Structure 1
Amino acid sequence: MTTTTTFNPQAFIDLALSRGVLKFGEFTLKSGRVSPYFFNAGLLNDGEALSLLAQGYADQLINCEHVDVIFGPAYKGIPFVAATAVALMQHHQKSVPWGFNRKEAKDHGEGGVLVGAAVAGKKVWIIDDVITAGTAIREVVNILKNAGAEIAGVLVALDRQERGQGELSAIQEVQKELDIPVHALISMKDLMDYLDAKGETQALAAMQAYRAQYGI
């Protein structure tokens, strides 16, 4: 049975909070910045949570061009891309090949670092949780290009909408450098709108201050 319901960012934020995926408070990031929120998509570790995330990815992809193959970077991206392939079939009756990479090349059996659908000569969408510095995405892009793929775009769960090394965000840097679209299911603005609607004035003020300092 299929459903035509669409992804609801506010419902996703509710679920993320209930699972501890999203937390508000004070969190020191790898960059040294003290963030008023933290997002860990690895905690989307049950059927309901993963289904909602995958539906969001599927709803985005169905409106994107050149979706020949979807690809999940190891390790978090692997369950995301598998679930998204299922969601595309269940919700949109679209069967899309999917694959992923290994962290280390396999020297027996089929060998190599790529598993799943062939990517040579295909337009590939990369699915991941968040782009922080862009390093991991660039590594995966190089792996795919070396295998003969063309990168069609990147789809992530969260856009932090904050500056990277310069005036652009990490997502904007990737878009500019690789000349590809990068889409996100939710953004920092969605989180702020959520807090505003819930009357969480203290958390909202912290988010506003952080965005004033680091936002794009």
Structure 2
Amino acid sequence: MSTLLPDTTRAELAREFVTFALDSGVLRFGEFTTKAGRQSPYFFNAGLFDDGGKLGRLAQFYAHAIVHSGVEFDMLFGPAYKGIVLASAVAIELARLGRSVPFAYNRKEAKDHGEGGRLVGAPLRGKVLIVDDVMSAGTAVRESIALIQEAGATPHAVAVAIDRQEKATENGRDVDHSAVQYVRQQLGLEVVTISQLDDVIRYLQDGAMPDALQHLGRVEAYRSRYGATG
């Protein structure tokens, strides 16, 4: 089963999302150092969806992509920390659309009082959809998979805002596949993406912002050097 919308609808959704991310200051162009130590010409920081209006709109994009992907799931899971807010907001938006589903999230450290443990929210059951912002190395997803499996549930799919479509790093070395490709091909989970780096490039090609062509050259050079091929 495909986890993407039909081409025209997905493209429209992605373009709207790129515009929204730029307007919100979440997507920026310049010079940034990634976790892998690469000098990237763009940066996506979901932590800057930092007020109720932005978060509500973000949840709409996630819910729209999830519903129209056709991916099957029984509940949502948000990896600490950004995933907690995202899963909560998406659960609210799905309920507004007529599908109320349980959600849960984890703590970074186990609580030794009260209810205890690392998991908060609804019991993990059935097919679980993990909601996060981006995947850089797939580390958070692997940790989530372990927690979900330990609880007796099935990690089934992941939803992210943007697929950087660049080579992942393993043991400090670049590999041909991206984190999203790794999750799909090696971990066997479906992946729903609102947007991809290709969508950012198309936005810049349309000249929809000042200095678009200047940014485009840098982004395309980065993609040429680090783009995933596996």
Q: Give me the TM-score of the superposition, normalised by structure 2.
A: 0.86
State the partner residue of 1:82.
Answer: 88
Structure 2: runs of 5 or more not aligned = 1-9, 170-174
Pairing partner for 1:164 from 156, 162, 168: 168
Is 2:220 the counterpart of 1:208?
yes
State the distance in 1 between where 2:200 and 2:124 align: 35
Higher relative contact order (CA 8 A, sep 6+): 2
User: Following TM superposition, by how much is the alpha carbon of 1:130 offset from its aligned partner in structure 2, in angstroms?
Assistant: 0.3
State the partner residue of 1:131.
Answer: 135
- State whether residues 17 and 194 of structure 2, in contact with CA within 8 Å, keep that contact through their aligned partners in structure 1: no
Task: Work out the number of aligned pairs and report it.
Answer: 209
Query: How large is the RMSD of aligned CA atoms in angstroms?
Result: 1.5
Structure 1, residues 55-91: CA drift from partner, whole Å, max 9, x if none?
A: 111112223333101111111011111110111121x
State the partner residue of 1:153.
Answer: 157
State the distance in 2 between where 1:140 and 1:95 align: 22
Is 2:115 the counterpart of 1:103?
no
State the partner residue of 2:5.
Answer: none
Structural mapping, 1:52-63, within 5 Å: 52-63=57-68
State the distance in 2 between where 1:85 and 1:169 align: 28
- State whether residues 153 and 181 of structure 1, in contact with CA within 8 Å, keep that contact through their aligned partners in structure 2: yes
Q: Give me the TM-score of the superposition, normalised by structure 1.
A: 0.92
Structure 1, residues 133-155: CA drift from partner, whole Å, max 9, x if none?
A: 11111111111111111011000
Identity of aligned residues (%): 48
State the distance in 2 between where 1:10 and 1:176 align: 27
The one-letter amino acid of 2:90's match is: T
Structure 1: runs of 5 or more not aligned = 1-5
